[in-house]
Structure 1
């Protein structure tokens, strides 16, 4: 059976499928810390949005010209204070699940990609398989290196993973750093995988629109209150 390098969309479908498993497994151990901090983060986010609305109202009352309005609001002391508090709340909320995700996903990927099937469940559903540069099974050490290199790719705002869109080898930054390859048994994704990615994209977009609508409503309420 002929194989070819796995492309960006095949990798994305496999990654999101694995995320359905890894997300809950990573969140559960961190939940005792996360549950209380999530409310604090939401409170600080609302405080920042309200501070933006109030600062905008003060600037309008003071007659700040429209071209200078955004800069004036950004320099408001209350905005800076709220931003600093939000950063602190975000760090407190984010590091516990991030730490457990690193450990859980390391065990998950090393055990499965270096295992007999050479693939995670998400990769198997897409007909993908991980090998070294010679198409041999990964050692646990190389699988660990691939996982750590994946963290480096996240630090590039995922540009390292987007390298999978570049033909002909479609290698990501983790592939290149760890000397590994990801192969596909079929050239195209099955229809169900295309539908899955469409669903994930739609849900992500809907979540973003919902958050934006709530954020705008909070800012508008604060603005109207400050103008009374």
Structure 2
């Protein structure tokens, strides 16, 4: 994690990570609304008069789901593989995502980390709770992607 001979790694615990996640969910929702609302308005206006209300609602819902998925994926993946090594929520709390050697992760590893959160969620959130009990405070998605969340 640095050039010093002795350096103590402080792993980010469950509650720090949970608070960072809450902050990031709120920020990503705000970002999604900023992007989705104008696009939904344009889509609805373009379909007015030529489609039923149900078709307009279905198209808007599909657009919202797609944009939401895209924004969420890019939000976490780009921020965690950036020079910040953290989403804004993690950064506010002094957390960073690293590889097992303490180095910045690339887009591919951040991508694997993001999508493996699906597995952490599908098993009744136990994958997230693992961060409270593993030696290096790793959640299931960290173990899958070989990442650490550290405090600096």
Name the TM-score, length of structure 1 as normaliser: 0.50
The DSSP-based 3-state class of the residue aligned with 2:113 is helix
Relative to its length, the structure with more helix (as a share) is 1
**1:182 CA drift (Å):** 0.5
The match for 2:74 is 107
Runs of at least 5 residues in structure 1 that lack an aligned partner in the other structure:
34-91, 186-228
The DSSP-based 3-state class of the residue aligned with 1:129 is strand
**1:98 CA drift (Å):** 4.6
RMSD value, Cα: 2.6
The match for 2:22 is 16
Task: Identify which of 5, 8, 17 aligns with 1:2.
Answer: 8
The match for 1:164 is 131
Task: Identify which of 88, 91, 104 aligns with 1:124.
Answer: 91
The match for 1:81 is none
The DSSP-based 3-state class of the residue aligned with 1:181 is strand
4+ long deviations beyond 3 Å? 27-33, 92-99
The match for 2:56 is none
Runs of at least 5 residues in structure 2 that lack an aligned partner in the other structure:
1-6, 42-58
**1:157 CA drift (Å):** 2.6
In 2, the alpha carbon distance for the partners of 1:152 and 1:100 equals 22
Deviations 1:67-95 (A, max 9, x none): xxxxxxxxxxxxxxxxxxxxxxxxx9987
1:146 and 2:113 correspond: yes
In 2, the alpha carbon distance for the partners of 1:155 and 1:94 equals 23
Structure of higher CA gyration radius: 1
Considering Cα pairs closer than 8 Å and 6+ residues apart, tell me whether 1 or 2 has the greater RCO: 1
In 2, the alpha carbon distance for the partners of 1:95 and 1:176 equals 33
Q: How many residues align?
A: 129
In 2, the alpha carbon distance for the partners of 1:156 and 1:165 equals 16
